[in-house]
Structure 1
Amino acid sequence: MTGWWKNRSSAGKVELYTRGSFHLFVLLEITSFGLMPVAATAPSRPPVLLPLTLLFMVCGHAVLCGVLTHKALHWVVGRRERPTRTAVAVVVTTAACTLAVLTLRATGHISEAAVTPTLVAGLIWFASGSLVLCLRSVKRMLFIPAAAAVATGLAALALGTPAATALGYCVGILLGSLFFGATCGFSAWLLRTVYELDHSREVQARLAVAEERLRFGRDLHDVMGRNLAVIALKSELAIQLARRERPEAVEQMIEVQRIAQESQREVRDVVRGYREADLSVELEGARGVLSAAGMDCRVDFPAGRRATELPPEVQSALGWVVREATTNILRHGDAHRCLIRLTAGEGGSVTLVVENDGAPEAPAGPPGSGLAGLRERLAALDGTLQAGLVGDGRFRLLAQIPDRRLQELEVRA
C-alpha cells in the first residue's frame, strides 16, 4: 500500500486524490437524497413501490454523473476526447428526474413539501458539477447554473407550483450549482495545472541534456573545424605539387600528417574533458540541471580541501558518480530536494554523498549498468559505492575513496 502511493508522481497523486473525491460524490448523492423519498411518501400511497422507484432513480442518476466525471477527468488531462454524449445523457436524465419529482409533488404522491425542493436541488447540483468538468471557459461554466435555475423555475410554475416556491427553486438551485460548479471547476484547473508543471519539468530536463550535447558539439567543432580546413588545403596543394613532380609535395604531406596528429590529440583532449570532467564543474553542472528541473539542489563543501585539489583520477571517478546520480534523479522518482555533499578532509578519505527524496520503493524498470560501471571505476581506486533507500522515500548514493589510495596518488603526482 505504501509503494502504491509513493511510486506515483506528484501529478498522479493529485489525480488520484481528485478522482477519489469525485467518486465520493456518488455515495454522497445516494445517501443524502436517495433515501429521502422513503420519508416523503404519503401514507395513503403504496409504501414500498414508489420510494424504491425514486431510490433507484437517484442511484442511476448518481452513477451516470460519476461516469461523466470519470471520463471528463480523462479529458482534462488530455487522455481522451470530450465526453459530449455522456454529458448530453446527464442533462436529459437530470431533466427527466426533476420533472418526475415535481409531477409527483403536484399530484400529491409526495406529502412533505420541504423534501421536494431539496431532492430536486440535489439532483441538479451534482449534475452541474459533473457538466462543469467538460468545459474550459468560465463563461460557459456560469451558463450551467443559470440555465438550470431558470428551467427548473419554469417547470415548477407549469406544474402549478406557487410563484414564491418556484422562485425559491431558482435561488436555491442557482446558489448550490454555483458552489458545486466552482468546486469542480477549480479541481479540474488544479489537475490540469499540475500535469502541465510536471510536463514542464520533463521538458526542462531534456533541454538541459540537449544543451550539454550542444556544448560538446560546439567544442568539437571549434577544435576540428580549422584543422580540417587546413588539412584540405594542404592536401590539395600537395596533389598539385606531386603532379608537377615537385619535391615540396613531400613537405606538404608531412605538414598534413603533423596537423592530423595534432587534431587527433586535441579531439582526445575534448573527449577526455567530457568523459573526465573536473569535479567542480560536474558539481556545478548538477546543481544547474537539477535546479532547472524545479528541484531544490544544495551542494555542500564542508571544511577541508576543495574538489580542485584532489588528484585527477579521484576527480574523474567522483565526477562520474555525480553525473550518473544526476541522471538517475531526473529519470526516476519525483524528487523535490537533493543534497550533494563532498567531504575531503586533510589526511582523510574522500566521501561523496548524493541524497534525494521522492525515490520509488521499487525500480521502474530493469536494473541498468550505471551503478555497476561506477563501482568498477571506484574499485580501480580501492573505493566503494553504496546505493539504496534510507527511509522516508530518500535515496542515498555514497562513494568513498580511502586515505591510503589518496596518498599514493598524491605521491605519484
Structure 2
Amino acid sequence: MLEFAVRVKGWSGRSGLAKVDLYTRGTVYLIVWTGSLTLALMLLAEPVREGPLVLAVAGPLLALAEGVLCARLARRAMDAYLGQGAVSRRLLWQTVSVTCAAIAVVMALALIEPSEGVLEMLPTLLGVGLMPLATVHSLLVRNRVAALTQLSVLAVLYALMALAGLAEGVAFSSLLCSGLLASWMAFTCRASMWVLAVMWELRKARDIEARLAVAEERLRFGRDLHDVMGRNLAVIALKSELAVQLARRGRAEAVDQMVEVQRIAQDSQRDVRDVVRGYRAVDLRVELEGARGVLGAAGIVCTVVVGKLELLPDEVQSALGWVVREATTNVLRHGDARRCTISVGDVDGSVLLVVENDGAGEASAPTEAEAQTQAVRAASGGASEGEPGSGLAGLRERLSAVGGVLEAGPGRSGRFRLTARVPLCQSA
C-alpha cells in the first residue's frame, strides 16, 4: 500500500514517455481483467448456480486464474513487443490451458443441464472468456496471423453455440458481436503498443544523437589540439634524445639542446592556452542556437527569447555566450529538466540573460565534490595563473571582467533560475 502511494505521488515527476508507458500498460491490464472479472461475475449469476456444484465453483475460480495468468503474460508480451524481454513458453501454454478449461466449463454448463438463462448468456460468456487471451495474443504475433486466428476462433465459437442448441440467427448475431468486440480490443492494444514502441525508438534516437554530438565535439577539439601540439611534441622528443646522447659524451651542446627544449615547451604552453581560448571564445547567437539544438536532442523543450544582440559589445556577447554554454551543460548533466527557457534582453540599461529550467534547483549548481575537484585541478596546475576557472566561479570571473554579476538559485514554482546582468554603459 505504501509503495502504491509513493508511485501515485511520483506521477507528476515522471517524464512524458514514462507516463505514456504506464498509461498504455494500464490499459492492457484493464482490458484483460475486465474480461476475466466479467466472466467470473456472470458465472456467479443465478442461472449458472442452478447447474452442477462442481462446475458452478470451478467456473469463477478458473476465470480468476485466467486473469492472473493473462496479466503476467501481458507484461511479458509488452516487454517483448518493445524489445525489452522475452515471453516464456511455459507461461504461454499455462495461460492457454486455463483459458480452454474455463471455456470447457462454460460449455459443460450449457450442455449437461441446459437452461434458458444459461443458453442466453452463452455467447457473452464465450466472448468475455476469450477476450483476455485474444488481447494478449494480438501482441505476440503479426497482424495477419492475429486476424486468421480470430477468424478460426469465431468459427469454433459458432460451432460450440450450434452444438448447444442455439438457433442459427441468434448464434450468428451473437457471434458477430463477440467477434467485433474481440477485434476492437485487439486493435486498440496493438495500436497503443505500436505508438509506445515508436516513442521508445525516438527516445533512443535522441539519446544516441546527444552522445554523438558530444563525441563529435570531443573529436573536433582533440583534432585541433593534435594539430597544434603534434609537431612540438615530436621536436621535444627528438631534441631531448639528442641532449641525452650529447650529455653521455660530455658535450657542452647538450645544454643548448635542453634550452631549446625549454623554449619549445613554453611555446607549447602558449599554444595550448590559445587553443583553449579559441575554443571558449563564443558568439552569443551561435550559443543560443546550439543550446536549443542540444537540449532538444536530449528531449528538453527549449524556448529562446532574444532581443537585439547586434548592439552588444563583443566582450559582453562572449561572456554571456559562455554563461549560456555552462548553463546548458548543467541542465544536461544535473537534475531532470523537461523544459528550459533562455531569454536575453535590455532591462533598465543592462543586458539581462535568464536561464530557467524545471529540474531540481540545487542540482544545477556544481556539487561540493565537483568544487573540490576543480580546486585540486587548479592547485595541480590544471589552469594557468590568471586564467578563469570552470563552473559558476568561472562564470562570475568572466562577468566581473565586463562589470557583470551572476545569480543562481531556486526561482518561482520550484524552478531553478540562473541570471547574468551586465551594465551596458560600463561595458561600453
Instruction: Name the TM-score, length of structure 1 as normaliser.
Output: 0.78
Tell me if structure 2 keeps the 8 A contact 1:154–1:166: no
Q: Paired residue for 1:339? A: 341
Mapping 1:1-400, distance limit 5 Å: 4-29=10-35, 32-39=38-45, 41=47, 45=50, 53-112=58-117, 113-135=119-141, 137-157=142-162, 167=172, 171-232=176-237, 255-275=260-280, 277-303=282-308, 306=311, 309-311=314-316, 315-316=318-319, 318-331=320-333, 332-333=335-336, 335=338, 337-343=339-345, 348-356=349-357, 359-360=358-359, 368-369=367-368, 374-380=391-397, 381=400, 383-388=405-410, 390-391=412-413, 395-400=416-421
Return the structure number with greater relative CO, CA threshold 8 A, min gap 6.
1
Using the TM superposition, give the Cα deviation of residue 355 of structure 1 relative to its aligned residue in structure 2, in angstroms: 2.8
Letter of the 1:376 counterpart: A
How far off is 1:334 after superposition?
5.1
Gaps of 5+ in 1: none
Amino acid at match of 1:19: R
What are the superposed Cα offsets for residues 358-384 of structure 1, whole Å, 9 maximum, x if unpaired?
x35687899735997744345542623
> Once the two structures are superposed, what CA deviation does each residue of 1:151-183 show, in whole Å capped at 9, x if it has no partner?
333444556666666655654443332222111
CA displacement at 1:228 relative to structure 2: 3.0
Q: Distance in 1 between matches of 2:268 and 2:51?
A: 99
Structure 1 position 119, deviation (Å): 0.9
- AA aligned to 2:329 is T
- Aligned pair in 2 of structure 1 residues 364, 95: CA closer, same or farther (>3 Å)? farther
CA distance in 2: counterparts of 1:245 and 1:367, whole angstroms: 54
CA positional deviation for 1:326:
1.4
Amino acid in the other structure paired with 2:349: G
How far apart, in 1, do the equivalents of 2:60 and 2:364 lie?
48
Deviation readout 1:62-110 (Å, 9 max, x if unpaired): 3332222233233334443223322222221222211221221122344
Structure 1 residue 187, shift from structure 2 partner: 1.7
User: How many positions carry a matched residue from both structures?
Assistant: 397
Deviation, 1:268, is 1.3
Whether the aligned pair in 1 keeps the contact of 2:99 and 2:129 (CA below 8 Å) is yes
Q: Give the match for residue 387 of structure 2.
A: none
Cα RMSD, aligned residues only: 4.0
Tell me the distance in 2 between the aligned counterparts of 1:50 and 1:362: 62
* Structure 2 runs not aligned, ≥5 long: 1-5, 372-389
**TM-score, normalised with respect to structure 2:** 0.76
Change (3 A) 1:104 1:46: closer
Deviation (angstroms), 1:17: 0.8
